[in-house]
Structure formats: C-alpha cells, structure tokens
Structure 1
Amino acid sequence: MSRVYFTSPSGTAELKGSERAWLGSLVNDIAIGALSLNTQGNAEQMLKFVDPAHYLYLDPHAPKRPGWQAPWAASYKTAFGVGMGGAPLVQYQGHDLGTFTVALNTALTLGNDPIKLGARIHAQCELNCWVDGPDRAWMAGIIDHGLEIGVYRRGSEDDPQGWEQVAELLRARDDEPVVLYDSIDSEGFPNAHVGGWMPAWPEGIPETHAGWDLLTDAQKQERDDRSEAWYDLTEPEQWVISMSALREKKGHGLQIRPDNWTRYHFGHGISALDLVASDAEQRLSDAFGVPA
C-alpha cells in the first residue's frame, strides 16, 4: 500500500504504507462486523441486494436449503472487501452502492474520531484532502488520541509508522494548510494538474494514455509547453495555484474540518447499519429518490 504524505509550504511528514493498509482493513472490518451476516435474517436481507449478475446471487429458494448461510456469508465477506464479482455486490433498483462507500460510511457512523480520520485519510489522500491552518492542532489532537488508544500504531523506534511526525508537523504552525497525497502520485503536491494551470482536456477524449494518442499534434505541444512552464514557477507560486483550486472544491468534501465533522458522509450516505435495518428498503428509496 502506498505511503501517505502530509505536506505544507514549510515541511512534509509521511505515514508508512503499512499504516494506510491498516486503516483500510479497519474500515472494512467495521462494516463486515456491522452487517453481522451470521445473525438470523441478515444474510437473507443482504442477498436481496445482490445484483443478479454477481456470482454470489442465489435463487430465491436458496435460503430454504439447510447450511447455505455460513459458506455464503464467508464468500460475501471476501467479495465485500476486495470488490470482486463482475457486478454490484450491493445494489438497489439498479443503483450500485459500492462496497467501499458503504464501508466508509459505516466507519463514520460507528467510529470514534481516530476511526473517522483514518477513513478520511484512506479514502481521500489520493484526492488531496487537506486541513487548514487553524484546524491543524485539532487534527493533531485526534492523532494523539488514536495513538493513545491503539487505533493508530506507533511502530518501533527505528521504524516508526509516522504518526508522531505528522502530529509534530501539524502543530508546527497554524497559518498554512497541510495537503495529503500518496506515493503513487509521482508529482506530489502542488502540481500542474491541480488547478487551472493545464489546458482543459478535450471533450470526448478519455484522459488516459490511450487518449493522449488521440490528441492533435498542436494539442500535445500545448500541453507539453504548459507543463514545462510549470517548473519555471517558484514553489510559492505553485502553492498558490494548486491551493486556490482545492479551496474552490468546497462541495467535494476534501477539506477535513471540525465544523462538519459529525455530519460528513460519502456519496449516498448509506452504511451497513442501514442495509440490515428493518426499514432498509425505505432508507435506500430515500437515498436514491426512487419508489420503495
């Protein structure tokens, strides 16, 4: 799993990839626990929401066969965690809920502050989630609490996971934002693709390596020239451009802040608790605006 970097104009700290993997496993395990598939009726309830094209879909008579629940539940837990199956594992009237989104919302619903922060970091570090200067000490306090209760792991003296260093960076000052990115992002932050520095990608062409081959020579040259010009800017200038773009994404939920901490949710907002509730279909109907 990739490392997570916390960066500011004045410094950077990193969280080991093994700790991010740990956060991901916590998020998944909390959701699986909340589904409680060994509880009478819960497996049958979740079976109703499996897409018929998924390999875990069973005919309506399957629950009448003795002993079906335990092996099915074991397979379901695996599929939930790795997202395999070729079709939605959790869907409602054609709407794919996405097991990752369900797991994240479950962590936000059931978790304490360190669990909530862990879910946000795991889900949004690749998207450049961030914390503003005045809220840095607040986030550092959550990290302290997570270390104290064991949700976050310290590692060894010779090989720390990095939480202490992150908290130290956060407390170093309160007048600069701290932005996250992961080690897969070779450009880090700030970069030319965050903000309006690069020309808009042409409509109708996928923004992929294959799409690059579909650009005209003039479009390719324009992008190459603009990308090179990025490195002629000073680092403070790069920060202003990229950070301004992040601040404009208010509706994307990338700013981690205390004033919406308890209300924040991902996507449709549905958690595992909603799926096993007695009125699950009504909750799903409300979430997607379709008749129950």
Structure 2
Amino acid sequence: MSRVYFRSPTRTAELRGSERAWLGSLVNDIAIGVLDLRDLSRVERLRQLIHPDHYMAKRPTEGHGWLNDWASIYATAFAVGWDRSAPLIQYHGKQIDQFSLALNTAALLGSDQIKLAARLHGACEIHTWVDGPNRAWLADILQAGLDGGVYRRGIHYAAEPDHGRPEPLWVPQGWEDVVALLRERDDEPVVTSYSVTDSFPNSGVGDWMPPWPDAVPRDWNALNEQQKRERGERQDAWYDLDAGERWRISMGGLRASSDGLELKPDNWHTFRFTHELTILDLVAHDWEERLQRALIDETPAEG
C-alpha cells in the first residue's frame, strides 16, 4: 500500500495512499462538474480545443444519445488521458495540461480543505512543504477537514474472519498523526514525499549533485560513461553524510526553489500550477484572450 509521508527532522507521519487517491477524486470531481459536459455550448467550446488527431475529435456528435456518450468518454479522457502529440486540450499548438487545469480549478473554487487537497495531490511527490511557524496554521486546516468530513479518518475494508462471515475492518487513514506531528513544534519544517517516488531528503534536491551537463538530455542513458561514473560516485557519497547534513542540503534546495512548493498563508488563495489556467478560463466569454495571455504572450509561471 502506498503512503504519503510527512517528514520532519524529528519524526515522520504517514497518510495512506488510499487517501491520496481520495484527494485526487475530490479534485477531479470538481473539475468534471465545472466542465458541465451536458451543456451543448460548453461541449462546442471544448471541441474547438481538441487536437484534430485526438480520438475525441472523431467522436460522433449526432444521432440519438450522442451527448451522453460523448460526455462520458470526454470525462474519462480528461481524467486519465495524456498525449503530447495529440492533446485533448490545446490552443494554437500549445498543450493545456488537464491535470493542472483540475488542480487550479479546485484551488480557485474550493475551501481551504479543497485547496490543500489540490496542493497535496499535485505536489506531494515533489516535496511540497510547510515551514515551522506555519505548521499550526496547516494543522488547523487539516483538523477542519477531518471534522467536516472532507478528509476521511478511516475507511472500512471487507475482511473474511475464520467463521466465514464478512465483517468490516476499520483502517485509519493517518490524518490524526499528521495533525499531531504538525502541532508538536514550530521550529522544524515538514516535507512531503510519496512512497513510489523519491524520499526526502534526497541527493537530487539541493546542490549536492553537480549540475546536469549542458546540451545533454535529462536522461541517464544520454550521459557518457565518465559522466555516469562521476554522478554515480557522488550519489553514493550522499549516504555517507549524517542525517542532519542531508536535511540541511535538501532543505536549502527547497527554500531556494522558485517552484512554489511551500504551503503558506501568503499566497494560499493565489497559488496556481504550471499554466495557471482553470476550466473557467476555457468557458469564459473572453476565453481566447485568456489563453493567448497564458500560453503565447507570456511564459507561464512554474508551480
């Protein structure tokens, strides 16, 4: 079972991977609702933005029941589809990542608890984090989410006991320990990681590894043998450092980053991912101007 880890230099709390999936479903359900795929005017707008080689561009739009069929398949493509050569949503050849669209829509329209769901679902594996003085603020948001039922204290799994009669097995999701961790102190950061990707701290965050060679694709197989050997030796040396030094190096990298990974009150209501667009931008009366500004006139902010 996967986990989202909340790590401090002192200790770690674990959130079950099923809860990360729940956060993703909240974000996606909001996005699908705002798309309003039973509205013909919305569908016509979305069809204008489909790459002509994407399979949704070839779906029939006539005959009995076509709209329900089209909406169902589009919703699935929005949630799981990814094709750079023929994107589901694009404007003048620029792909509009639907994952960021969903995250940004939830961040714009949602409560603090939904905003946090979007931030964790969108960036837990790349180490979104909260600084010590803001830990209590974040704990308050989490606690309100638990009290209101936005986050789940636990879920029932079907269990088969010895006597053969199914009985539910209650499994805590881990939020209570995350809240407890956040409230324990205010002088250490707490950093997230995901169990199926890199842990934290790690040698790739901070200035421990040398810069990637110029003009070389960021692919291990693109390196020559000497470059592979040098980087491998440097990575191995990471594990000779004590835990405190590894934390110092990786936290230095996070603090210096411009990726917007810190969870903080200052930009809580304005933070957006990648292109910064929401679904509301796609359906606005001035949608072309909005997409032009975000994708063509300016370089989108990284998030």
- Tell me the TM-score normalised to structure 2 length: 0.87
The answer to whether residue 177 in structure 2 is matched with residue 179 in structure 1 is no
The answer to whether residue 217 in structure 2 is matched with residue 202 in structure 1 is no
- How far does the alpha carbon of each residue in 1:169-216 deviate from its partner, in whole angstroms, 9 at most, with x for none? 011100000011100135x111111111112222333333433xx422
Aligned to 2:300: none
Pairs aligned (count): 283
Aligned to 1:223: 231
- How far does the alpha carbon of each residue in 1:144-163 deviate from its partner, in whole angstroms, 9 at most, with x for none? 01111111001059521011
* Aligned pairs (5 A) from 1:78-117: 78-84=76-82, 87-117=86-116
Aligned to 2:138: 139
Give secondary structure in 2 for the equivalent of 1:116: helix
The answer to whether residue 77 in structure 2 is matched with residue 68 in structure 1 is no
Give the superposition deviation at 1:65: 5.5
**Residues of 2 paired with 1:209 and 1:221: CA distance?**
11
Rate the CA distance shift 1:66–1:280 in 2: closer, same or farther, 3 A. Answer: farther
- How far does the alpha carbon of each residue in 1:60-112 deviate from its partner, in whole angstroms, 9 at most, with x for none? xx656664322111110010000156621111111111110110111011110
Does the CA-based 8 Å contact 1:47-1:58 persist in structure 2?
no
Which residue identity does 2:221 align to in structure 1? A
Aligned to 2:161: none
Aligned to 2:266: 259
The answer to whether residue 296 in structure 2 is matched with residue 277 in structure 1 is no
**Residues of 1 paired with 2:232 and 2:292: CA distance?**
47
* Aligned pairs (5 A) from 1:230-245: 230-245=238-253
**Residues of 2 paired with 1:288 and 1:223: CA distance?**
36
- What are structure 1's unaligned runs of at least 5 residues? none
- What are structure 2's unaligned runs of at least 5 residues? 156-168, 298-303
Aligned to 1:286: 293
Residues 84-93 or 169-178, more deviating: 84-93
**Residues of 1 paired with 2:101 and 2:244: CA distance?**
39
**Residues of 1 paired with 2:293 and 2:231: CA distance?**
44
**Residues of 1 paired with 2:180 and 2:203: CA distance?**
28
**Residues of 1 paired with 2:197 and 2:66: CA distance?**
44
- How far does the alpha carbon of each residue in 1:103-159 deviate from its partner, in whole angstroms, 9 at most, with x for none? 011101111011100110111111111100000001101100111111100105952
Aligned to 2:26: 26
Aligned to 1:3: 3
